[in-house]
Amino acid sequence: MNTFGQALRVTTFGESHGEGIGAVIDGLPAGLEIEEEFLALEMQRRAGGKNLYSTQRKEADEVKILSGVFEGKTTGTSLGFFIQNTANKSRDYDSIKNLFRPGHADWTYFHKYGIRDYRGGGRSSARETSARVAAGAIAKMLLKPFGIVFQSGILSIGEIKGETIDFQNAQKSEIFALDKQVESAQKEAILQAREAHDSLGGVALIKASGVPCGLGEPLYYKLDSAIGALMLGLNGVKAVEIGNGVKSARLRGSQNNDMMNAEGFVSNHCGGILGGISNGAEILLKVHFKPTPSIFLPQSTQDMQGNVVQCEIKGRHDPCIAVRGSVVCESSLALILADMLLLNATSKLENLQKIYS
């Protein structure tokens, strides 16, 4: 089940400390120009090793396209790519080889498969998200000519929550902070957690603008359905809100409904989705990340033989995965909307007539 999408299908493979991470993108329309420079920029947005707020593992994250592109354009055939791992330090994991790290997938992978690649969590590592970001970058190339663009940033870090939403600030910020007023406090909170050998949770806001009305395939591949699947499936995400989200459950219908005037909808409490289909307004999501489970404090756990032991984790980890996670959410939303754009192409008979006439 390493494939996401229906019309645009992305299949990924690879482990944190294996050869690398790769993917196959199937269903890309032919004739799309692949901008390698943009692809590299997107990879850099997700990459760690740039400051103290992220992991110190510094990966080249170079995406090598292996197929599906000819003379700079997609050919309609499957596009394979590979991102070599270059900064493996598997010896960091020798100490945890025989035990189950709290908050990690070690326990569940071992019990499910009867085997476990202990090097950096193997397949369960967030290193896999590099493939999502690369695929998401290609999805963005597909969407841009149709006016669909993306923005994201950090709303809150631990208890420190911003009020203002300033995507411009997020772009320049080392922690993608949306609110300049609280940015330093948020940074400080991360560093404090880091110094305490601990980690911190956070919340990302994701936005897509220019989305045409009609994307989403009721009843079981609605737009919000796909968002729920990709976001809650992302490492460390424990809650997802669309539009008013949690707040809407506290409101009355007369407060939460989006009414219309002559220009269209006068509010966007629904986050751009009605009945699982985009309504033309901005798509707005909040994604809640738990604190990184890898902390350097001693923790009580079991080893493979069932003995209670103290776990002392080494390695290079993000003190707050929400920061880099926000980029992956943005890429994920791009993948979803690209898929939905393709699926919606055959929603009406008149669309077919436009193509086959």
C-alpha–C-alpha distance, residues 4 and 12, integer Å: 9
Q: Which of residues 167-186 bind a copy of itself (CB under 8 A)?
A: none
Binding to a copy of itself by residue 72, rule CB under 8 A?
no
Q: How far is the CB of 169 from a copy of itself (least distance, A)?
A: 20
Residues 247 to 286 in contact with a copy of itself, rule: CB under 8 A: 248-262, 264, 266, 270-271, 274-280
Is 235 assigned a ligand-binding role in the annotation?
A: yes
Per-position x/- string for 131-150, each x denoting binding to a copy of itself as judged by CB under 8 A, each - no binding: -----------x--xx----
- Cα separation, 74 vs 34, in Å, equals 7
Residue type for position 343:
L
Pick 82 or 176: Cβ nearer a copy of itself:
82
d(CA 345, CA 146): 13
Cβ atoms of 30 and 48 closer than 8 Å: no
Residues 92-131, interacting with a copy of itself (CB under 8 A): 100, 102-105, 107-109, 111-117, 121-124, 128
The only residue of 288, 327, 330, 337 in contact with a copy of itself, by rule CB under 8 A: 288
Candidate segments 13-21, 35-43, 52-60, 177-185, binder of a copy of itself by CB under 8 A:
13-21
Please pick, from the candidates 39, 43, 47, 79, the single residue that binds a copy of itself as defined by CB under 8 A.
79
Q: Is 68 labelled a binding residue? A: no
285/243 Cα distance (integer angstroms): 6
Per-residue DSSP letter, 28: P
Find the shortest distance in angstroms from Cβ 247 to a copy of itself.
Answer: 8
Nearest-angstrom CA–CA distance, 265 and 270: 11
- 34, 45, 56, 78: which one binds a copy of itself (CB under 8 A): 78
Question: Which member of 170, 295, 329, 336 binds a copy of itself (CB under 8 A)?
Answer: 295
Phi, psi of 260 (to 5 degrees): -125, 145
Tell me the C-alpha to C-alpha distance, in Å, between residue 125 and each of 20, 135, 153, 257, 326.
12, 18, 22, 40, 16
Distance CA 333, CA 131 (A): 14
DSSP state of 217: B
Which member of 39, 241, 328, 331 binds a copy of itself (CB under 8 A)?
241
Instruction: Return the ∠ at Cα 341 (arms to 338 and 347), rounded to 5°.
Output: 155
Residue number with CB closer to a copy of itself (60 or 297):
297
# chain residues binding a copy of itself, by CB under 8 A? 160
The 197-236 site mask, x for binding a copy of itself (CB under 8 A), equals -xxxxxx--------xxx-xxxxxxx-xxxxxxxxxx-x-
The DSSP element (H or E) to which 261 belongs, if any, is strand 260-261
**173 annotated ligand-binding residue:** no
Structure tokens at 312: 């002392």
The two tokens of residue 39 are 């692809």
Q: Which residue reads 């569940």 in tokens? A: 108
Distance of CA 9 to the CA centre of its chain: 16
Q: Which of residues 25-54 bind a copy of itself (CB under 8 A)?
A: 26-27, 29-32
352 is a site residue for a copy of itself (CB under 8 A) = yes
CA distance 242 to 285: 5
Closest distance to a copy of itself from the beta carbon of 145 (Å): 8
Task: Output the smallest distance, CB 78 to a copy of itself, in A.
Answer: 4
| Residues of the binding site for NADP(+) | 46
| Residues of the binding site | 46, 123-125, 235-236, 275, 290-294, 316
